[in-house]
Structure 1
């Protein structure tokens, strides 16, 4: 009889301990944490741009790789220009003018970038002479750079002061913009890490002082 009571008592003690053990296991289980965003992910648009390019020639840009909008957004402006096959002449001119570092380190500028076809429209021999004249080449190229990252709606608000010291004007709306009455925007509002780019179909010529 005593043996049966002892066994019964032990059984009661073991059963009463089970909920406590289960509760302890529940408390020690780690709380799941929300998964982190993938490296490099951001939901914020690039500063100074509308988020969507403008111009009739944007559809001709590569969808991926060098020259694409996605690739440009990951690079500083001099690198983005160098990787765009339509801007190879401009890239060479920037190097020859000694402006690579200045534009690479610039903090928020807008560049009106003449395409290769734009440089081809210069009078015969003009480009060759410019490439051999560093001060004049730098003067010409900095005339295509304005301070601040300009969205399309900001371009037409007032004359834009250039890095060269002169002024340029932009007129238009929607998909059609004309710079200084002569150069059409082929594709613009292209974001890079430190600049906004508008590819144009003519070279802008600063007024002689």
Structure 2
């Protein structure tokens, strides 16, 4: 099996996320043994951000690092476990809200559209939105 970064590269629809991980300097963290759970926005999710917001983030590595780290939770949290949780602590330091109802899972306001992509050092859950830590949401 591949690690989280290699798995995301191979999937082909996380190009913007991988670019953000690279710019933010978190590649080595996400390649480390972990385990980590990544809530991974697709390229389409990033495309839903206003272009100027995305451009601004990609040019601000400190802010970008907080946002990328906010998509990474500690541990190997599979969908069965997610359904039991109300929140998860992120590498960024704050928590994401997790809501499960009618067989669907949401992380903050993003829908989990694919679960349990297993990797050597954790698991990827694909989401349809970009998560923003509360401290940056208004910026």
Fold conserved (TM > 0.5)?
yes
- Match among 107, 113, 126 for residue 34 of structure 2: 107
Q: Given that residues 145 and 163 in structure 1 are in contact (C-alpha distance below 8 angstroms), is that contact kept between their aligned partners in structure 2?
A: yes
The answer on whether the counterparts of 1:143 and 1:164 sit within 8 Å (CA) in structure 2 is yes
- 1:178 maps to which of 77, 82, 106: 106
Q: Which residue of 2 aligns with 1:187?
A: 114
Q: Is the 8 A contact 2:70 2:133 kept in 1?
A: yes
Distance, in Å, in 2 between the alignment partners of 1:197 and 1:81 is 8
Q: Deviations over 1:137-180 (max 9, x none)?
A: 00000001111100222223232111001111211257421111
| Poorly superposed stretches of 4+, deviation over 2 Å | none
- Contact 2:86–2:99 under 8 Å retained in 1: no
- Determine the C-alpha separation between the residues in 1 that align with 2:96 and 2:11: 25
RMSD: 1.5
Gaps of 5+ in 2: none
Residue in 2 aligned with 1:81? 8
Matched, 1:169 2:97: yes
Distance 1:115 1:108 in 2: 21
Q: Which has the higher strand share?
A: 2
TM-score, normalised with respect to structure 2? 0.91
Q: In terms of Rg, which structure is larger?
A: 1
Establish whether residue 160 from structure 1 lines up as the match of residue 91 from structure 2. Answer: no
In 2, distance between residues paired with 1:106 and 1:135?
24
Partner SS state of residue 92, structure 1: helix
How many residue pairs are counted as aligned between the two chains? Answer: 135
| Alignment-derived partner of residue 77 in structure 2 | 150
SS of the aligned residue for 1:83 comes to helix
1:119 matched residue in structure 2: 46
Unaligned runs of 5+ in 1: 1-73
Match in the other structure for 1:204: 131
**TM-score, length-scaled by structure 1:** 0.61
2:51 match: secondary structure:
coil
User: Relative contact order, CA 8 A, sep 6+: which one is greater?
Assistant: 2
Question: For residues 23 and 97 of structure 2, what CA distance do their matches in structure 1 show?
Answer: 27
